[in-house]
A and B are shown apart, each in its own frame.
Chain A
Amino acid sequence: TQLLEQSPQFLSIQEGENLTVYCNSSSVFSSLQWYRQEPGEGPVLLVTVVTGGEVKKLKRLTFQFGDARKDSSLHITAAQPGDTGLYLCAELVNEKLTFGTGTRLTIIP
């Protein structure tokens, strides 16, 4: 099973700041998904990236897939308290998802 490592494990920043979290793999991703899990809820899909070098934007969130498809990043601009949650990357392999370890993000008002 491929190992997906996310960094940092915890991140706490002030409202309005920018941040980047990372997802890295020991081998090439087929495709990669990013989920956000808010407290007391299940994860919700934010985006799927498939092509090396691909960049997708979702309002203040920018997702980038590495050229070699072994890493991905999520950048949040002007973070807001509503961005608080656990961010999980996941790879789809053989129709099943393998999840990363997660980054727990806290935005301080």
Chain B
Amino acid sequence: DVKVTQSSRYLVKRTGEKVFLECVQDMDHENMFWYRQDPGLGLRLIYFSYDVKMKEKGDIPEGYSVSREKKERFSLILESASTNQTSMYLCASRPGIDYNEQFFGPGTRLTVL
């Protein structure tokens, strides 16, 4: 089974802190994605990566950056957390662009005070 794990299920941070959200997949997938999920808005794509060291902006990249130094790990970084970044963050992966299905992690619920 594909396994996508996220470093924390719940996280509480203060405004202005630098926040790292880690995602690891164990199936040698090429592509990885970061979404945020808010009630009534569905999932919105923040950043994605088609390969190691590659990154592309999604629909809402402002206030975020990412890092993909190894194929299995994709990190989301909030340089200076703000209260409007309180949300559920979901990581996903898929084998490659020829595959339609994405495999999701369980999510990290981030609260910024």
Residues of A at under 8 Å CB distance from B?
Answer: 1, 4, 6, 9, 31, 33, 40-45, 48, 88, 90, 92, 95-102
Contacts and interface: CB of A to CB of B under 8 A. Distances in A.
B49 to A, nearest CB: 12
A95 B97 contact: yes
Nearest to A101: B42
Interface centre among B35, B59, B104 (most CB of A within 10 A): B104
B45 A42 contact: no
A33 to B, nearest CB: 7
Contacts, number: 52
Nearest to B41: A101
Given A96-B45, A97-B45, A45 B40 contact: no
B69 interface: no
Interface in B76-102: 90, 92, 97, 100-102
Contacts of A101: 40-42
18 contacts: A4-B42, A31-B100, A33-B100, A40-B107, A42-B92, A42-B103, A42-B107, A43-B43, A44-B104, A48-B100, A48-B101, A92-B100, A96-B58, A97-B45, A97-B102, A99-B35, A99-B42, A101-B40
B101 to A, nearest CB: 5
A51 to B, nearest CB: 14
B66 interface: no
A9 B104 contact: no
